[in-house]
Amino acid sequence: MKKLLVTTALAGLIVTGSANAQTTITGELRINYAATGTDQGVANTKSRRGFGAEQQLNVQTKGKLNVGGLEYAAGFAMENDGEQATTLFNENTYMDFTSGNTTLSLSRDHIQRSDTDRSFGALLGYSPNDIASQSAISATGNFTRFQQSPGPQVGQNYSVALLQKTDIGTFSAAYAPTVTANSGIRTTASTQSNDAASERSGETDAESGYEIGFTGNLGVKGLDLYSFYGEEKQRPGMVTKGDVQNHGIKYTMGDITAGYTYKKYNEPTATGRTENKENHYGLAYAVNKDMTVALLIADAKGTTNGTADTAKEKAKSIQMGYNLGPVGMVVGYGVSDNIAGLATQDAKAGFVRFIGAF
């Protein structure tokens, strides 16, 4: 009988919720237009143009527990990226328990982490891999390619994390029992893709992974930086394991902002060690309170078993962001050379992105 009473009480809580909770629903809509031209050799030149969209709804609640005076926050997001073929519920799912400046998080795609395209070189949000990923060029080639989400991707898997806020920033440590929902972990160059549909969520050889990180300003006004290191346990049949470093620094002085990002990551392979490095450089100028112009320059280089790839991937773009009140707009033009590390694969793109929040 006691077990039945406990079960009934929990069921009632799930249905009715808590009178002390505060629940909010927010969302974001992005509509993009891009026109791209690609060159995979004289005999295979392509172009395409069209619209794309991303919709996201966020459901969040917060309140206090009835024991220990702990605060809690919980939520989830529903995201449709284009016409998404995979689950809509793989972003920002979490339960956080907080005491003072310390938070225990049971979550996925929620806490600060390295496996995100947070590049401080992309000051207006249009990252180095956007031009190549929107082009008609396939992802095949060498391992070199700008990665939106490199390395073990601990944060995109269900993990337990501890966060500690301090006067200079927030320190975090996360552990994922299995690293399974990855788009950045690959075993062969031919399987490279930045598409969500390539997630290896059905893998049975996945191992555990961890990540430590820091985000903050070190107490310096205008400074913003992050630093992460992540690693996964070596998988059966692999001679190397996946790991990632992701570091960025950004500084704003008056109307000028400069940013730099460095990424270094290794793929788990059955034949040898493959290492990739990326450098992103950004410079932005705030023309007025509503308009900002920015320049982005980036390069990526790969090494396999100590031998460097023959071509370095490069990206350059100029962008303008404009604040329209409830809607933001980014327009720009960019070029990408040696996509996926192949000298015959180049692309150029003009783009417009509208972002609305509610």
Does residue 9 form part of some domain? Answer: no
Could you give the CA distance from residue 52 to residue 49 in angstroms, rounded to a whole number? 10
Element housing 3 (H / E): helix 2-16
Could you give the CA distance from residue 173 to residue 113 in angstroms, rounded to a whole number? 9
Which tokens go with 108? 């996925």
Does residue 28 form part of some domain? Answer: no
Does residue 78 form part of some domain? Answer: yes
Alpha-helical (H) ranges within the chain are 2-16, 129-134
Element housing 48 (H / E): strand 45-64
Does residue 208 form part of some domain? Answer: yes
Element housing 8 (H / E): helix 2-16
Does residue 67 form part of some domain? Answer: yes
The H helix count followed by the E strand count for the chain is: 2, 17
Q: What is the pLDDT of residue 8?
A: 39
Of 157, 51, 145, 152, the C-alpha closest to 107 is 157
Does residue 18 form part of some domain? Answer: no
Do 313 and 335 meet the contact criterion of CB atoms below 8 Å apart?
no
Query: What integer best gives the mean pLDDT of the chain?
Result: 80
In sequence order, what are the beta bridge partners of 328? 323, 355
The pLDDT of residue 299 is above 80: yes
The total domain count for the chain is 1
What confidence tens digit (pLDDT) does each residue in 106-152 have? 999 898 887 777 788 888 888 887 777 766 666 556 656 788 778 78
- Whole domain around residue 319: which residue ranges? 33-357
Q: What is the pLDDT of residue 325?
A: 86
The predicted model gives 71-98 an average pLDDT of: 86
Does residue 283 form part of some domain? Answer: yes
Alpha-helical (H) ranges within 81-198 are 129-134
CATH number at residue 74: 2.40.160.10
Angle at 197 between CA 195 and CA 199, to 5 degrees: 90
What are the φ/ψ torsions at residue 122 (nearest 5 degrees)? -90, 80
What confidence tens digit (pLDDT) does each residue in 220-249 have? 999 999 999 999 998 888 888 889 999 999
pLDDT tier at 48, thresholds 50, 70, 90? confident
The predicted model gives 324-335 an average pLDDT of: 91
